[in-house]
Amino acid sequence: MTQTRTTLFSRIRNSIFWAPILPQTERERKKFLLNNLILHFRPRTIPEQTLKFTHTWGLGGIAAALVMLLFLTGIMLKFIYEPFPGRAYDSIILLQQDVWFGQFIRNIHHWSANILVVVVFLHMVRVFFTGAFHPPRQFNWIIGLILFFLIIISNFTGYLLPWDQLAFWAITICTSMFEYIPGVGMWLQKLIRGGAEIGPESLKTFFTLHSAIVPACLITLMPFHFWRVRKARGVVTPRSLRDKSEPAVRKVPTVPDLILRELVVALVLIAFILVFSIIFNAPLEDKANPGLSPNPAKAPWYFLGMQELLLHFHPLFAVFIIPIFVIGFLILLPYFKYDSDVTGFWFISQKGRRMAMVSAFCAVIAMPTWIIADEFFIDFTAWLPGPPTVISNGLLPVVIVAVVVIGFYLLIKKKYAATKNEALQAVFVLLLVSFIILTLTGIWFRGQGMALSWPWQVGVME
Ligand code: HEM
């Protein structure tokens, strides 16, 4: 049973306010459990250690709150928005100028959607670094990956709806990447666009996906994800890096100990989004003009890492082989063989943490150096005019990168006398930070003609 502590939360829990809500007798307790919806998704009690905010950073809960906020504001937007190229842009203008709080609701929807991508990504990273993808949570990792995919699809399909220059050209750029997928690429592109070009059919398809199909999938999968957390008896229990013995587990009731904390996080989040949406408007450029391409024409920010890869590798590698490899790696991650049980330790060990920091530092130095060198000095296609570009600008640089990464793995493993897990984690950090740098370069350092520029020179329309 719970021990009495004089924390703020225990004082609130024991306060008069909760008395009529919380069960007092055993019979009441059973009835309470049976009738409580929350406790169908959550374990009745959880280890007290998991309540520490920095263990999960509340990221899963924040993601869930953001999805709810998106559903709510999305339904409101549907009253005004019209999914036809002739009327979509004007309906957004109408919403912003003539509807009470229309601009505000659009801002909340826009910022929540973008913050959600970052939050879900960070949630995934936290799950990775606390080893929470290992059995018995391996299947929940896969459900999580599907949720991540759905969040990206939801953002991507929503991007086109305002039908402004930004939306039209970003989706044109992204869907044109499909051409490089061997075999089915052109077919897939036509399917998504609903024809050869972005037009009325594309808007209809995107709107249906965005406002019906993806939300339906999310509503179905999210409870499943929470239920799997419940089946695993809550989130993974944190273990101390210094003392690797099993922690003495002290259980506390989910309601109100966890729920109260989640409520606080959700309220702070909502307050933040509201203030942010009062200060910053969601972008809206001129009405889409298929005859006038902006320069630079960029994909939505979460695909800019991939667009940046296109500048360095042959398209077959940038948009197909490398992403397939990454997706395959993420799916198989819980099923690889590991040399020890590392579940619940942030960064596996103290050594693992140090190695992760060294890897991040290496990526911060090496990536920009490579991007600049590739922009101004390296030109495999000119140096090797003989073989096709898929070899000179695809296979060759990929093999060089692979050799560097394998070399890094062997070097860091030897230098730190590390386990296989620790060395693999270091490589993962190297690749993760590199990808983040690629994305940031695409957002802030690519200007006209996608040439390297300073952030204040980026975003000029021709
Ligand atoms: C809409 C997106 C998502 C929502 C709403 C969501 C929500 C949650 C919540 C509320 C938890 C429990 C508390 C916490 O860890 O903060 C959780 C745990 C978990 N999530 Fe997610 N999640 C999402 C996406 C993902 C993704 C992309 C992954 C990984 C690929 C993932 C994998 C997991 C795993 C393995 C756990 C169990 C962690 C543990 O036991 O420590 N989730 N999720």
In this predicted model, what pLDDT tens digit does every residue of 196-228 receive, in sequence order?
999 999 999 999 999 999 999 999 999 999 999
- Test site for ligand 1: of 127, 326, 346, most ligand atoms within 8 A of the Cβ: 127
Do residues 145 and 330 lie in contact, with contact meaning Cβ atoms separated by under 8 Å? yes
| Residue 253 φ then ψ, to 5° | -70, 140
Considering only the C-alpha atoms of the chain, give the largest distance between any 2 of them, rounded to a whole number of Å.
83
CA distances from 313 to 37, 175, 296 (A): 51, 18, 19
Q: What is the pLDDT of residue 16?
A: 54
Could you tell me what percent of the chain has a pLDDT over 70?
88
CB distance 71 to ligand 1 below 6 Å: no
With bands split at pLDDT 50, 70 and 90, how would you rate the model's confidence at 455?
confident
Token pair for 209:
């996906």
Q: What is the pLDDT of residue 461?
A: 39
What CA–CA distance (Å, rounded) separates 355 from 350? 9
Q: What is the mean pLDDT of residues 308-329?
A: 94
- Test site for ligand 1: of 229, 254, 265, 327, most ligand atoms within 8 A of the Cβ: 229
Closest Cα to atom 2 of ligand 1:
147
Q: Which residues contact 286 (CB under 8 A, 6 or more apart)?
A: 164, 165
With CA atoms as reference, report the closest residue to 96 among 84, 114, 81.
81
In CATH, what number does 32-241+249-294 get? 1.20.810.10
Closest Cα to atom 11 of ligand 1:
60
CB distance 424 to ligand 1 below 6 Å: no
Q: Under the phi-then-psi rule, with left for phi > 0, alpha for psi from -120 to 50, and beta for the rest, what region is 98?
A: alpha
Q: How many residues does the chain have?
A: 462
Positions of CATH 1.20.810.10 in the chain: 32-241+249-294
CA distances from 140 to 38, 117, 147 (A): 19, 19, 10
Residue 444: in which H helix or E strand, if any? Answer: helix 420-444
Q: Which residues contact 399 (CB under 8 A, 6 or more apart)?
A: none
With bands split at pLDDT 50, 70 and 90, how would you rate the model's confidence at 385?
confident
Q: What is the mean pLDDT of residues 265-286?
A: 96
Q: What is the pLDDT of residue 462?
A: 34
Q: What angle (nearest 5°) sits at the alpha carbon of residue 458, between those of residues 453 and 459?
A: 155
What CA–CA distance (Å, rounded) separates 197 from 192? 10
With CA atoms as reference, report the closest residue to 72 among 112, 27, 26.
112
Q: What is the pTM of this model?
A: 0.89
Residue 242 clears pLDDT 70, i.e. is over it: no
Q: What is the pLDDT of residue 29?
A: 66
What CA–CA distance (Å, rounded) separates 44 from 38? 9
Helices (H), 318-349: 322-332
With bands split at pLDDT 50, 70 and 90, how would you rate the model's confidence at 23?
low
Closest Cα to atom 10 of ligand 1:
60
Q: What is the pLDDT of residue 34?
A: 60
pLDDT in tens, 33-42: 666 666 667 7
Q: What is the pLDDT of residue 245?
A: 56
